[in-house]
Structure 1
């Protein structure tokens, strides 16, 4: 049974600009093997009209966080604690009826795989129109006309004809555009995009990213963009949150984090990325080891078993003490600011050239 409580010590939203404020979010799943700590004390803000990028390896808690914002976690096996405040409305304690009024209306989600997210039994137009009818009370004809309008906005050719097609009659890129149309049909204030371009080729991916930016300018929506691709984030986001083992390990503006990263995990992500026009003779530097078990996460800093720089920290701080993530531009690491800067300049920057 889901437990919905406010965590002790959860901080208040930082200011009036935060449209979505998440504080000390903890999401745990009960399994036969034990309790999975999928999200473990996560806090962040999203401002109106801005895009927050969330990056991290598979299993870092990115998708679970945003499914929880929408209230789509499994109510029979999950425990949720903390604060989620959307435009002044507390969501952790909201009823299912209250969440149904918000989903697709005030907040919407673009799922990673449109082929599985869209039903094969209904036309694309009917599926796009459904949330518009539900939230506005529009007639079926009015909703279909609105669906045609949205298909036009997302660049589907011959929208008056294609509105009556089924998902299997659309290409992968067109299905993703249809998902965007469905998400935006009620002009949501917050759009969550969960790796929306992962299965698309590079050309279509660029078109979808440009489309999202154009529609954000038109509708003024805040966006949470989830991905493992830092190249995509550099194109899309204003602010960046780096997640590892269900926690935020670094945050700041995209420019700050990508130009001067401060956490060893972020260094590892950047060092393992291929670069167009880069030195092709240099081998990529993968992060050693495996992501930690969320059933039994390591003590102290969750990244310390894989960190090449833990020996720079005196004593046993890395293995015994959990580093905290301060407000604003910050990284949760026991290295001093001077050590981080020295390591980045001497050892990390040469790898990125």
Structure 2
């Protein structure tokens, strides 16, 4: 992670989240560890099914306890969450930690006004009157850039545009000044102009409140705009970690390189073909042995002894930087530079 004197506000150690299904056990998260300090933004990136959202729903305790087996440790400001009661988690959700979901229209109730929904969240955790809650809702709508908030507070979600609904969701998530904000692809359904406005809003609010943010996305372009540090997930595991600059300019894992090479370069020639990663993400019911990326990896044959298909590579983090890959450091530098050069031509 980014070098800082701060102690981690959120600390996750060897988290495993497995679901029971009719077809077997789904290993959605399989040994994940990371830290996050206050005022920092961690971008978690990966394809659908990589374990990003499951990780963060588990932090909030929003999982089916009857069908989910969880192991490891989640510490929020020193408090263990995995053993916390539902009553204690309800107290923490919205108050100390909160989440912005991808689909604001599906997350907001169509039967209640925007102001009522924001105000009820505030009342639940503070016990203030309805009048005070309404005043707070107007204040939050103003903070997130909703015009005429004293009038729009009485509107229903369908009366808001997509961008305004997402702003209202952010207002609801921040109404109790949480210290941890989890944003689960909050800009995916928005056009690029509104997306940029939402990103700027999150950065401004983080600066104002000192909030720790986990930003989940499949888009490395978004990560480049908002994150301090990046965690790349594949098949329920972390395959690479580092600062934003390190990961985006000098990837250490073939999967990260594949993600970068599948992105269009806004500053390059328009006729350059993109290079999608071949194959499909692994089934977490029956994941590949060894490195879970090896069936799709362009470099697996460069490693001696079939290690990629037989032995799980360990994630070794040194000064916040590392990757889970059997390639040597020299191989990574040589092959990745060559591969990146091929993609540019």
TM-score (normalizing by structure 1) = 0.95
How far is 1:158 from its partner? Answer: 0.8
Which residue of 266, 269, 287 corresponds with 1:276? 266
Q: Distance in 2 between matches of 1:131 and 1:349?
A: 52
- Residues 1-353 of structure 1: pairs in structure 2 closer than 5 A: 17-327=7-317, 328-351=320-343
How many residue pairs were aligned?
340
Q: Which consecutive unaligned segments of at least 5 residues does structure 2 have?
A: none
How far is 1:66 from its partner? Answer: 0.1
Q: Distance in 2 between matches of 1:194 and 1:107?
A: 13
Q: Distance in 2 between matches of 1:66 and 1:349?
A: 36
How far is 1:15 from its partner? Answer: 8.3
Q: Secondary structure at the match of 1:18?
A: coil
How far is 1:77 from its partner? Answer: 1.0
Alpha-carbon contact 1:271-1:352 (below 8 Å) kept:
no
Q: Distance in 2 between matches of 1:337 and 1:331?
A: 10
Q: Distance in 2 between matches of 1:150 and 1:264?
A: 43
How far is 1:16 from its partner? Answer: 5.5
Q: Secondary structure at the match of 1:115?
A: helix
TM-score (normalizing by structure 2) = 0.97
RMSD value, Cα: 1.2
Q: Which runs of 4+ in 1 moved over 3 A?
A: none
Q: Which consecutive unaligned segments of at least 5 residues does structure 1 have?
A: 1-13
Stretch deviating more after TM superposition (165-174 or 73-82): 73-82
